[in-house]
């Protein structure tokens, strides 16, 4: 029989197999997860969770789908980590240092504590990409933040109240719109889609059984 550990979900004690993730442990304990479960593979950032270990004061933030349970783990999930999302028209702004100062001025209050980087569920150098954003180096910021899943865990630990994922998203949009060269074959494909050239193919794919869709996905040609 698999070894079990005692965890506390919303204050109630449960004994669960030690091999489970936090998400798996919640379902094992009988919780029906209808929100905050997303992809279950660490890509969507929907299952941001906080926990602490019994006898220790430090709070940890993680993704419930990636983090295994530990003995004496006190767990609480949040619907989301609040982020400041500014509204802008990407066609009316330019990749200048002033636009970041205008939309996300809090990044200039960064104290360099590096708590954001330490908390990142993807292991990104968050403080570094914020520094790039401060200097208007949007191509570097876009590259450094490329794997961000917008979970907001970094922002939950920031004493300056920076919305790091939104800053990174703005940098990637500016980079894609104004800095990177245009991708002609992508523009051509979008035009073909708008003209309805793939409507019949899409309908055929939607009517295929799941098993055939999986086979098509697993044997697809991957661009190098």
Structural domains of the chain ordered from first start: 4-77 (3.10.20.740), 97-179 (no CATH), 194-218 (no CATH)
Per residue in 93-140, pLDDT (tens digit) is 999 989 999 999 999 999 999 999 998 988 999 999 999 999 999 999
pLDDT tens track for 29-80? 998 887 778 788 777 878 888 899 998 988 888 889 989 999 999 998 776 6
Buried b (16+ CB within 10 A) or exposed e, 183-212: eeeeeeeeeeeeeeeeeeeeeeeeeeeeee
pLDDT score for 59? 83
Per-residue confidence (pLDDT) for residue 176, from 0 to 100: 93
Q: What is the model's pLDDT at position 172? A: 97
CA dist 224 to 47, 130, 220, 221, Å?
32, 30, 12, 9
Question: Residue 54 to residues 8, 16, 51, 74: CA-CA distances in angstroms?
Answer: 9, 16, 10, 7
Q: How far apart are CA 171 and CA 136, in angstroms?
A: 9
């Amino acid at each position: 029989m698999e070894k079990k550990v005692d965890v506390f979900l919303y204050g109630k004690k449960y004994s669960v197999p030690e091999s489970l993730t936090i998400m798996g442990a919640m379902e094992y304990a009988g919780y029906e997860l209808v929100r905050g479960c997303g992809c279950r593979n660490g890509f969507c950032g929907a299952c941001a969770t906080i926990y602490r270990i019994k006898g220790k004061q430090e709070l940890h933030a993680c993704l419930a789908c990636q983090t295994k349970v530990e003995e004496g783990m006190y767990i609480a999930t949040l619907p989301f980590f609040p982020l400041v999302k500014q509204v802008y028209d990407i066609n009316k702004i330019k990749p200048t240092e002033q636009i970041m100062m205008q939309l996300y001025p809090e990044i200039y209050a960064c104290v360099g504590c590096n708590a954001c980087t330490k908390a990142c569920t993807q292991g990104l150098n968050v403080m570094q990409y914020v520094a790039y954003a401060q200097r208007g180096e949007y191509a570097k910021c876009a590259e450094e933040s490329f794997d961000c899943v917008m979970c907001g865990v970094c922002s939950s630990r920031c004493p300056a109240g920076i919305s790091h994922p939104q800053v990174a998203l703005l940098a990637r949009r500016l980079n894609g719109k104004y800095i990177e060269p245009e991708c002609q074959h992508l523009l051509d494909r979008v035009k073909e889609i708008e003209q309805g050239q793939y409507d019949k193919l899409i309908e055929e794919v939607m009517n295929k059984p799941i098993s055939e869709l999986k086979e098509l996905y697993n044997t697809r040609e991957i661009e190098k």
